Amino acid sequence: MSSLSSFPITSRWPPAHPERLQLYSLPTPNGVKVSIMLEEIGLPYEAHLVEFDRSDQKTPEFLSLNPNGKIPAIIDPDGPGGKPLALFESGAILQYLAEKTGKLLPADAALRWKTIQWVYFQMAFVGPMFGQVGFFHKFAGRDYEDKRPRDRYVGESKRVLGVMDQQLDGRQWFMGDDYTIADVSMLGWVRNLIGFYGARELVDYDRFRHVGAWLERGLARPAVQRGLTIPARG
């Protein structure tokens, strides 16, 4: 296991436990994917708060880890071959952690790929569509007189919820009886859509009964509850 001192980000967020996985994040829907995952799999880690109101994500130190300037990002001091590995993009991090620990991703090749496809679905549709609903319904976009952009994303969010609802019909989780990274990737986004964004009625959420029941099951998991608050806000 090599030193982390070669990573510029560690000068801004010095690790107290450099032998542990380092998480740089904020408890947003994308950020909590990784904190929930880490809580679920029990891998020791150290969380560092990246504060948007201080533009931490735009600093040279953070950009040295993720040039896209988005959270979450990680450094695993015990990466492949025992060498440190830096990663950004929440979906890639979920898959990496699942493969590293052999948890929350089926061993069967076909089921593994079916799980990964739902993670990609989240990255391509759930996050972008729900996030735009948040912008146009709760944030600056709500002041736009032209409601066509909002309605476009509301309509797509309803469609996406319908896809999710159909998949969850008769299933506890997206992959049936097995809770996987597919579920981890989506829980924070659905919770935000109807909670923080206040879009429950706007997207007819209560019509999607299977999604609602799935969210309740997910939020009842102790690891999810812990992960939703990590890193703690200052």
Q: Comparing C-alpha atoms, which of 187, 173, 156 is closest to residue 114? A: 173
Predicted pLDDT at 212: 98
Predicted pLDDT at 23: 98
Predicted pLDDT at 2: 53
Predicted pLDDT at 3: 78
Whether the link from the prior residue into 231 is cis, omega within 30° of 0, is yes
3-state secondary structure of 84: coil
Secondary structure of the chain as H, E, C letters = CCCCCCCCHHHHCCCCCCCCEEEEECCCCCHHHHHHHHHHHCCCEEEEECCHHHCHHHCHHHHCCCCCCCCCEEEECCCHHHCCEEEECHHHHHHHHHHHHCCCCCCCHHHHHHHHHHHHHHHHHHHHHHHHHHHHHCCHHHHCCCCHHHHHHHHHHHHHHHHHHHHHCCCCECEECECCHHHHHHHHHHHHHHCCCCCCCCCCHHHCHHHHHHHHHHHCCHHHHHHCCCCCCC
Domains and CATH numbers, the chain: 9-103 (3.40.30.10), 109-224 (1.20.1050.10)
Whether the link from the prior residue into 44 is cis, omega within 30° of 0, is no
Please identify every stretch of the chain with a pLDDT value under 70, giving residue numbers as ranges: 1-2
Predicted pLDDT at 1: 40
The number of beta carbons lying within 10 Å of the beta carbon of residue 215 is 21
State which amino acid sits at residue 195.
G
Give the DSSP per-residue string, 124-165: IIIHHHHHHHHHHHTSGGGG-S--HHHHHHHHHHHHHHHHHH
Please state the pTM of the whole predicted model.
0.96
**Quick one: which H or E segment has residue 86?**
strand 85-88
Question: What is the spatial distance between Cα 201 and Cα 100, in angstroms, rounded to a whole number?
Answer: 40
Question: What is the spatial distance between Cα 113 and Cα 103, in angstroms, rounded to a whole number?
Answer: 14
Retrieve residue 125's tokens: 């549709």
CA atoms within 13 A on the CB side of 88: 13
